Amino acid sequence: MASLLDMRRRIKSVKNTQQITKAMKMVAAAKLKRATDRVTAARPFAKKMSEILGNLSARVGDEFSSPLLTDRGDEKYLVALVTADKGLCGGFNTNLMKATQNFLKTNAGKSTEMIPVGRKGRDFFKRRQMKFVEEYVGLTGTGRIEHTDAVEIAQGIIKTFTEDETIDKVFLVFTEFKTVMSQEVKVEQLLPIPRTSLDETETQSAAQAEYVYEQPASEIFGRLLPKQIETQIYRAMLESVASEQGARMTAMDSASKNAGELIDTLTLNMNRIRQAAITKEIIEVVSGAAAA
Amino acid sequence: MLNLEIVTPEKKVLSETVDSVTIPTASGEVGILTNHVPLISSLKAGVLAYTKSGATERMVIAGGFVEVSQNNVSILADVAETADEIDVETARAERDSLEKELSAWKGSLEESESERERLEKAQAQLALVSGR
Q: Is A224 on the interface with B (CB under 8 A)?
A: yes
Query: What is the maximum span of chain B, computed from C-alpha positions, in angstroms?
Result: 49
Handedness of CA A238, A46, B79, B128 (dihedral sign): negative
Q: Is B41 on the interface with A (CB under 8 A)?
A: yes
Residue A142's pLDDT is 65
A89 is catalytic: yes
Residue B4's pLDDT is 92
pLDDT digits (tens, 9 = 90+) for A44-53: 888 888 888 8
- Cβ-nearest to B7 among A48, A224, A234: A48
* A227 within some domain: yes
| Tally of domains within chain B | 2
Residue A225's pLDDT is 87
Handedness of CA A69, A67, A58, B1 (dihedral sign): positive
Check which CATH number belongs to the domain holding A207 and give it.
3.40.1380.10
Q: How far is CA A53 from CA A114, A207, B68, in A?
A: 28, 15, 14
Based on its alpha-carbon atoms, the radius of gyration of chain A, rounded to whole angstroms, reads: 28
Could you tell me if B51 and B9 lie in one domain?
A: yes
Residue B91's pLDDT is 82
- Nearest-angstrom CA–CA distance, A21 and A23: 5
| Tally of domains within chain A | 1
Contact A31, A245 (CB under 8 A): yes
Residue B108's pLDDT is 72
Contact A274, A4 (CB under 8 A): yes
* A4 within some domain: no
Residue A207's pLDDT is 47
Could you tell me if B37 and B63 lie in one domain?
A: yes
Interface with A, mutate which of B3, B69, B76 (most A CBs under 10 A) = B76
- Alpha carbon B96 to its chain centroid, in Å, reads 20
Q: What angle do CA A165, A169, A174 make, to 5 degrees?
A: 135
Could you tell me if B94 and B69 lie in one domain?
A: no
Residue of B nearest to A220 (CA): B42
- Nearest-angstrom CA–CA distance, A216 and B35: 23
What residue numbers bound the domain in which B94 lies?
A: 85-130
Residues of chain A with pLDDT under 50: 202-203, 205-207
Could you tell me if B35 and B8 lie in one domain?
A: yes
Could you tell me if B118 and B53 lie in one domain?
A: no
Could you tell me if B40 and B11 lie in one domain?
A: yes
What residue numbers bound the domain in which A130 lies?
A: 36-245
Residue A62's pLDDT is 67
Could you tell me if B58 and B109 lie in one domain?
A: no
Could you tell me if B71 and B124 lie in one domain?
A: no
* A274 within some domain: no
Given a cut of 60, is residue B81 above it in pLDDT?
A: yes
pLDDT digits (tens, 9 = 90+) for B96-108: 888 887 777 777 7
Contact A130, A290 (CB under 8 A): no
pLDDT digits (tens, 9 = 90+) for B17-57: 999 999 998 888 899 999 888 888 888 888 899 998 888 88
Q: How far is CA A49 from CA A57, A143, B5, B106, in A?
A: 12, 25, 13, 36
* A180 within some domain: yes
Check which CATH number belongs to the domain holding B76 and give it.
2.60.15.10
* A104 within some domain: yes
Residue A202's pLDDT is 47
Given a cut of 70, is residue B7 above it in pLDDT?
A: yes
Closest by CA to A143, choosing from A273, A217, A268, A38, is A38
Checking ipTM against 0.85, whether it exceeds it is no
- Nearest-angstrom CA–CA distance, A173 and A263: 40
Residue B97's pLDDT is 83
**Number of neighbours of residue A115 by Cβ within 10 angstroms:** 22
Closest by CA to A206, choosing from A67, A55, A60, A92, is A55
Residue A218's pLDDT is 79
- Cβ-nearest to A215 among B7, B12, B26: B26
Residue A125's pLDDT is 92
